[in-house]
Amino acid sequence: MEAEIDIKMEIYLKPTIIINSDHVSIIKKAVELTTHCNSESEKAIALFYFVRDSIHYSVYMISTKFEDFVASTVLERAKGYCVQKAVLLAALARATGIPSRLKFAKIKNHRMPKDLIEQTGINFFPSHGYTQIFINQRWLNVTPAFDKSLCEISGVPVVEFDGINDATLAPYGSDGKPYIEYIEKYDPQPDLPFEWLHSKVSSIWGEKNAWLTNEDSRNHKMPSGYEFK
């Protein structure tokens, strides 16, 4: 039975072009972050907090370009939106021997800035991405999307992870008002389903690459709370 489980986990440990857990920078960072950890749970916690806070969230990193999602590229840029950050966490986990995969959902953010709604014409995200990691014979849902500083600026709950329980976006804010609503959840994926994601993103943004600087967005109004860092 144990051998059967190991075989089933292989696909969630192998590097891919996107989840390039065999890249030298990914391996180096994973080792650096987990050297003093004594368990897989401790490793997962260390990786989560690095991706959550050291890779700053920017909605303008949304892209229809394949290369903008490669884990080592996200690590180098030190910024990304939910899907890119989920990819990086998955790669770091695989680099430490922890099985990982990607999960997607259609969500509604009840705190979405009005100017972002005006720009996109929608009040939901059709392809919110997060990571699933396999620890202690369980798949845990882990969402490293919004860094702590952004949450504090925006006045929304910070996602915390204890290595035991799911760590997902909160349904309500500290004021008791609605925050994140999971409308539909999709099947987990061993790799980024790029064509599916491209269709979701392009229907809203058109063909778009990641905007790395304020200059890239000079012709677009910047929603408050989503400044480049």
Q: How confident is the model at residue 219, as a pLDDT?
A: 56
Q: Are 167 and 140 in contact (CB under 8 A)?
A: yes
Give, for 129, the enclosing helix (H) or strand (E).
strand 125-135
Q: Which residues of the chain have pLDDT under 50?
A: 1-5, 221-229
* CATH classification of the domain holding 91: 3.10.620.30
228 belongs to a structural domain: no
Count of domains for the chain = 1
Q: Give the domain range for residue 203.
A: 2-217
User: Would you say residue 67 lies in a domain?
Assistant: yes
DSSP 3-state assignment of 57?
A: strand
Q: What is the pTM of this model?
A: 0.89
Cβ within 8 Å of residue 35, ≥6 positions away: none
The reply to whether 229 falls in a domain is no
Predicted local distance difference test score (pLDDT) of residue 184: 94
* pLDDT reported for residue 225: 41
Residue 223: what pLDDT?
A: 43
What per-residue confidence (pLDDT) applies to 229?
A: 35
Give domain status of residue 226, yes or no. no
Residue 9 lies in a domain: yes
Q: What is the pLDDT of residue 218?
A: 54
| pLDDT for position 175 | 82
225 is a domain residue: no
Residue 224 within any structural domain of the chain: no
At residue 34, the pLDDT reads: 98
